[in-house]
Structure 1
Amino acid sequence: MKALMIQGTGSNVGKSVLVAGLCRAAKLRGFSVAPFKPQNMSNNAAVTADGGEIGRAQALQALACGIEPHTDMNPVLLKPESETGCQVIVQGKRVATVKARDYAALKPGLMTSVLESFGRLKSCNDLVIVEGAGSPAEVNLRAGDIANMGFARAADCPVVLAGDIDRGGVIAQIIGTQAVMDGADNAMISGFLVNKFRGDPALFADGYQLIAARTGWRGFGVVPYFDAASRLPAEDALDLPKGGGSGAYRIAVLALSRIANFDDIDPLAQEPGVALTMLRAGEVIPADTDLVIIPGTKSTIADLVFLRAQGWDIDLAAHLRRGGKALGICGGYQMLGTSVRDPQGVEGPAGEISGLGHLAIETEMTPDKRLTRAHAIHQATGLAMQGYEIHIGRSDGQDRQRPFAMVNGRPEGAISSDGRVMGSYLHGMFSNDAFRAGFLRSIGGQSSGLHYGAGVEATLDALAAHLEKHVDVAGLIALAR
């Protein structure tokens, strides 16, 4: 019953991928292993077997461990709803929506839940591999910290610090982190890793030795850039792909400002017969697009305003006049209706906004959140699929008489009378190979026989082998206590 924590010199240095790879490596070495992240900030969430939600990265790490995702793996999840406020999820359940300045007062009381969840994971596994959040160098946030050194010291968990050489300045990243932290926090760090190296690692030998000499920390390896990481579900919107593929069927995805659960798109981006483009702010929907996807969002009304500010409402109307198709998922489904009402101010200021008007449905936001895994039958093809719902709001209207799918005999989603506009609350549908193939055929595309889930598993195995080659994995495991 041991634990090891990977912290980073900053956000997006590759902590999540490193932890996933170490989890798979430990599993292949015969350990029962589980991932853990005390506090995560992400709008890309997964629904767990125990009916809660956690960060998508912890769900991927659980897959790397060969176990089901559980709310204990990410006991505090923050889901930004605006520039200054976020939804607080504790052990899988929403407990509050707070402004950033108010969360600081809430944090210390959350440590009890964090340590409870951590203790349960430790009690039933040989090894727990913990991921930090952001950087311990953010010493202005140290008081009441539950994500990095505050947790490490409370749990007596040894730390290895990962730096990102790809962004430059990795020597200063690691040495500078030590310089700004106090002695007790520094004492928790037992070593360092240099991540995302491109080129000949021998050329960095002097820099690597300099870090070790200046910090007194043990180096556990230099990790070459792992290009295949792009085939794993990403959690951070910073990792949103620009697109993928050069196939004949063209899909445009609108990168909303508060985009959520964007890994819905990953399987489509890997389809050889698809050319998928992720449209950023200011870009237009290409005239040769076959399908426009409006993905999920953490704030439907705010992102509907954002969508219109880009002119995408005009582009979408022109796309449909040309005979194109559109699919809205979750918040995107809500936007395609005639109106979105939020009388209680669940997502922000109370109010109502006109929808895009391409589906005859109306949506009302409600405080209760639907969190469930689902087995569904796609109505147009008769194909079975698995997915999950994670949303607030209820949608109803005439086009619900033509459901997108049936879930346990319950109609789900809606389709327009001409069949070209579709909406659904189901996330994760395209991870189902047979359904994805049938869906593409039904809308004029081609299927390739891509086995998406098997590809993710193979990539995790390759990641573990990559770390075994370049990192002292045995030394890391021995460091755990």
Structure 2
Amino acid sequence: MPRALMIQGAGSNVGKSLLVAGLLRAFRRRGLRVAPFKPQNMSNNAAVTADGGEIGRAQALQARAAGLPPLADMNPVLLKPESETGAQVVVQGRRVASLRAGDYAAFKPRLMAPVLESFGRLARSCDLVLVEGAGSPAEVNLRAGDIANMGFARAAGVPVILVGDIDRGGVIAQVVGTQAVLDPADAALIRGFVINKFRGDPALFADGFRLIAERTGWAGLGVVPWFAEAWRLPAEDILDLGHGPQREGPVKVAVPRLPRIANFDDLDPLAASAAVSVVIVNPGLPLPGDADLVILPGSKSTLADLAALRAEGWDIDLLAHRRRGGRVLGLCGGFQMLGRRIEDPRGVEGPAGSAADGLGLLDVITVMEPDKTLRLVRATHPSSGETLDGYEIHMGRTTGPDMERPWLQADGRPEGAQSPDGRVRGTYLHGLFAADGFRAAMLREWGAPDDGLLWNATVEATLDRLADHVARHLDLDVVQSLAAPV
């Protein structure tokens, strides 16, 4: 009979995603069939699934830890912010609406049924499902209609482990305070707590750990130290990029941090490369004049991010970079921005009939369309003969003369565009640089040596070390015993 256990946080960014990935890999190595599940996620960093949908990138990494292909059922509700107050709503892998926050609150009660449907379908295929909450159950003002934390746990009958983050301080109040504000029936589902991200000697927190257990009556399951190698795994948040050793590689890559940046995991292998220095350029700062390459990353709202890029003066910096002979690469939304014009006749990203001039670095035009392209792609780089596995996740169709100079072949069809001199390129493909051979070919073109990085092997080895780390500090037998039949 399948069993399930939910990991919730006493706050946001307490390390739930990483902890779940480590536990999944650890239990998988014990011979269990395991799977990740997150009822609701909010992220513009999405992955295309084997069944043609999309889920949060963190759940794709967890699926990898579990030895499974990513599936839409692993994250049945994905919210992709399009503005400060609105988001695209993806249900079971498919876009169903774009809603403002207030409208989503009214819409949310309809989502418990597909969430439970996906959970049940996933559970039937495995021995143990590890469920990740979102934010914190202490946000009791959001409890009505909740599908992300205690609302799901109650509906599915799944017990909970609560995780507190000691690195940010106040962890005793985080955990004890969570119990204080929870409905008693919700609090009764919590079987124990874990203190995460500890730096130093865990023995120094013994009194605090004991105090939490006494105040809450919950079992203290362990103190998990800071996992220093987390930077080697695909980043869930753009702020996590570059948290590893600072590298001064021979190639400097500048990436403007756009407000609605999406699918920035494209940058992970470059950030990990000894041959590349990746500089994330924050608002208020110019693009560095000594950059060899500027990458315009993916965007959830191309027109809005294009306006933001211009407001920062980055368009002027980019044109100066081009005049100096610098290279430019546009990925997905960044590719659309590089063209002459972007048109939105059907109101996909704003009012119907919206349009804007692009940056004019590629002779192409993009027309936004409501149907989203979602597909896994096997591509070839004809210049080097290297192959790569990538994915497409975009809205819009791009045409124009520079499309007649494709620099990739995707499933046998021309893909991307480039300027006549080949120094400005664009593509709809994500995941390019995870392919070691292709990345090496690009490094040679940029005048740098092969970095020797085996990206996928590095991710796998890091997941194994994460599992070792979690297993050293949590009793896996106890954790497994807390899971309930579903």
Q: Which bin holds the TM-score, normalised by the shorter protein?
A: over 0.9
Retained in 2: the 8 A contact 1:360–1:399? Answer: yes
Cα distance in structure 1, aligned partners of 2:146 and 2:111: 10
**TM-score, scaled relative to structure 2:** 0.97
Cα distance in structure 1, aligned partners of 2:351 and 2:240: 30
**For residue 330 of structure 1, what is the aligned residue in structure 2?**
332
Structure 2 unaligned segments of length 5 or more: list them.
none
1:162 is paired with a residue whose SS is strand
**Aligned pair partner of 1:440 in 443, 460, 466:** 443
- 1:477 pairs with 2:477: no
Retained in 2: the 8 A contact 1:249–1:446? Answer: no
Q: Runs of at least 4 residues of structure 1 off by over 4 A? A: none
Retained in 2: the 8 A contact 1:232–1:459? Answer: yes
Alpha-carbon distance change, 428 to 160 in structure 1, aligned in 2, over 3 angstroms: same
How far 1:471 moved relative to its partner? Answer: 1.2
**For residue 318 of structure 2, what is the aligned residue in structure 1?**
316
Cα distance in structure 2, aligned partners of 1:232 and 1:319: 31
Deviations 1:19-50 (A, max 9, x none): 00000010011100000000000000000110
Retained in 1: the 8 A contact 2:242–2:278? Answer: no
Retained in 1: the 8 A contact 2:193–2:218? Answer: yes
**For residue 273 of structure 1, what is the aligned residue in structure 2?**
275
Counterpart code for 1:48:
T
Cα distance in structure 2, aligned partners of 1:129 and 1:175: 24
Deviations 1:231-283 (A, max 9, x none): 11122344343784211111111111100001110001111111111111111
Q: How many aligned residue pairs are there?
A: 481
Retained in 1: the 8 A contact 2:196–2:223? Answer: yes
Cα distance in structure 1, aligned partners of 2:90 and 2:73: 12
Cα distance in structure 1, aligned partners of 2:177 and 2:75: 28
How far 1:225 moved relative to its partner? Answer: 0.5
Identical counterparts, % of pairs: 65
**For residue 395 of structure 2, what is the aligned residue in structure 1?**
392
Cα distance in structure 2, aligned partners of 1:373 and 1:103: 30
- 1:294 pairs with 2:268: no
Retained in 2: the 8 A contact 1:132–1:148? Answer: yes
Cα distance in structure 2, aligned partners of 1:50 and 1:194: 36
**For residue 49 of structure 2, what is the aligned residue in structure 1?**
48
Counterpart code for 1:266:
D
**For residue 424 of structure 1, what is the aligned residue in structure 2?**
427
Retained in 2: the 8 A contact 1:136–1:148? Answer: yes
**For residue 371 of structure 2, what is the aligned residue in structure 1?**
368
**TM-score, scaled relative to structure 1:** 0.98
Retained in 1: the 8 A contact 2:7–2:16? Answer: yes
1:166 is paired with a residue whose SS is coil
**For residue 104 of structure 1, what is the aligned residue in structure 2?**
105
**For residue 203 of structure 2, what is the aligned residue in structure 1?**
202
**For residue 13 of structure 1, what is the aligned residue in structure 2?**
14
Cα distance in structure 1, aligned partners of 2:142 and 2:232: 33
- 1:406 pairs with 2:432: no
Retained in 2: the 8 A contact 1:381–1:439? Answer: no
**For residue 27 of structure 1, what is the aligned residue in structure 2?**
28
Counterpart code for 1:367:
P
**For residue 340 of structure 1, what is the aligned residue in structure 2?**
342
Counterpart code for 2:118:
S
How far 1:433 moved relative to its partner? Answer: 0.6
Cα distance in structure 2, aligned partners of 1:225 and 1:448: 28
Counterpart code for 2:390:
G
**For residue 136 of structure 2, what is the aligned residue in structure 1?**
135
**For residue 190 of structure 1, what is the aligned residue in structure 2?**
191
Retained in 2: the 8 A contact 1:433–1:451? Answer: yes
1:167 is paired with a residue whose SS is coil
Retained in 1: the 8 A contact 2:251–2:446? Answer: no
2:69 is paired with a residue whose SS is coil
For the aligned residues, what is the CA RMSD? 1.0
Counterpart code for 1:369:
K
Alpha-carbon distance change, 242 to 127 in structure 1, aligned in 2, over 3 angstroms: closer
**For residue 453 of structure 2, what is the aligned residue in structure 1?**
450
1:96-245 superposed matches below 5 A: 96-241=97-242, 244-245=246-247
Retained in 1: the 8 A contact 2:377–2:392? Answer: yes
Deviations 1:56-88 (A, max 9, x none): 011000000011111010011110111111111
Cα distance in structure 2, aligned partners of 1:349 and 1:218: 53
Retained in 1: the 8 A contact 2:253–2:276? Answer: yes
1:289 is paired with a residue whose SS is coil
1:86 is paired with a residue whose SS is strand
Deviations 1:283-334 (A, max 9, x none): 1111111000010010000000111111111111111111110000000000
Counterpart code for 1:224:
P
Cα distance in structure 2, aligned partners of 1:283 and 1:460: 35
Counterpart code for 1:123:
R
Cα distance in structure 1, aligned partners of 2:408 and 2:254: 23
1:168 is paired with a residue whose SS is coil
Cα distance in structure 1, aligned partners of 2:437 and 2:480: 39
Cα distance in structure 2, aligned partners of 1:11 and 1:404: 41
2:98 is paired with a residue whose SS is strand
2:167 is paired with a residue whose SS is helix
- 1:359 pairs with 2:362: yes
1:208 is paired with a residue whose SS is helix
How far 1:52 moved relative to its partner? Answer: 0.4
**For residue 74 of structure 2, what is the aligned residue in structure 1?**
73
Cα distance in structure 2, aligned partners of 1:341 and 1:404: 24
Cα distance in structure 2, aligned partners of 1:67 and 1:458: 16
Cα distance in structure 2, aligned partners of 1:204 and 1:268: 38
**For residue 84 of structure 2, what is the aligned residue in structure 1?**
83
